[in-house]
């Protein structure tokens, strides 16, 4: 096994952790416009910065996967879902998740030209992309115990952030001592 094989796995695992952190931060700052306090600005900035690092590591994960000769992944396989002869379902899910991230990056760069509604509609796809990427990691990952442990931690963090977000949006409103 080559250094590229190890690099591919490392980039993939770190990407999963970072993407999970990005989703958690996104859930924590979602719906706050403008940010209510200085902490919201910090969380929003951290969300954007971690997103850039995660996308960069995913790009490295993809490049090292295609460059490594240990498994037969062609360059077309990293862009076209389910085209690969190597584990087509699991690799295809990863390609789908990466394609959604490409759309997120492009629309984020064009955010001021697209308008808030269009950008938000595309941005919501990140919430669908994350579990697809996690399933990709579980299905294609060769480091079973490590992938499973990281997945449990990441899924737990995202579930807690999602529960908090739902609790905040469904909180009853008190008006003059009455619940509405």
pTM of the full structure: 0.83
CA distance 55 to 14: 11
The confidence score (pLDDT) of residue 125 equals 82
The confidence score (pLDDT) of residue 42 equals 81
* Interval 48-62: pLDDT, tens: 899 999 999 999 999
Q: What is the arithmetic mean of pLDDT over 36-65? A: 85
Average pLDDT, the chain: 86
* Interval 69-103: pLDDT, tens: 888 899 999 999 999 999 999 999 999 999 999 98
Domain that holds residue 107: 3-179
The confidence score (pLDDT) of residue 36 equals 55
CA distance 114 to 126: 17
Measuring CA to CA, how many Å separate 5 from each of 9, 97, 115, 153, 162? 7, 21, 41, 24, 34
Please name the residues in contact with 70: beta carbons below 8 A apart, sequence gap of 6 or more. 1, 2, 4, 5
> Is pLDDT at 157 greater than 90 in this prediction?
yes
CA distance 62 to 173: 47
Domain tally for the chain? 1
Please give the residue that has the higher pLDDT: either 15 or 41.
15
The confidence score (pLDDT) of residue 173 equals 54
The confidence score (pLDDT) of residue 37 equals 59
CA distance 39 to 27: 14
Cβ atoms < 10 Å from Cβ of 82? 13
Closest CA to 71 of 89, 91, 95: 91
């Amino acid at each position: 096994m080559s250094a590229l094989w190890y690099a591919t796995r490392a980039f993939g695992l770190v990407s999963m952790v970072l993407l999970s952190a990005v989703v958690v931060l996104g859930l924590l700052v979602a719906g706050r416009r403008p940010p209510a306090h200085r902490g919201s600005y910090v969380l929003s900035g951290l969300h954007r910065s971690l997103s850039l690092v995660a996308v960069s590591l995913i790009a490295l994960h993809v490049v090292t996967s295609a460059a490594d000769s240990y498994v037969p992944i062609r360059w077309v396989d990293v862009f076209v879902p389910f085209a690969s002869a190597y584990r087509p379902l699991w690799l295809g899910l990863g390609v789908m998740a990466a394609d959604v991230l490409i759309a997120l990056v492009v629309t984020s760069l064009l955010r001021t030209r697209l308008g808030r509604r269009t950008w938000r509609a595309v941005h919501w796809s990140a919430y669908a992309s994350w579990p697809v990427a996690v399933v990709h990691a579980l299905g294609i990952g060769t480091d079973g115990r490590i992938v499973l442990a990281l997945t449990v931690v990441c899924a737990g963090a995202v579930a807690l952030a999602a529960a908090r977000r739902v609790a905040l949006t469904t909180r009853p409103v008190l008006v003059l001592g009455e619940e509405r």
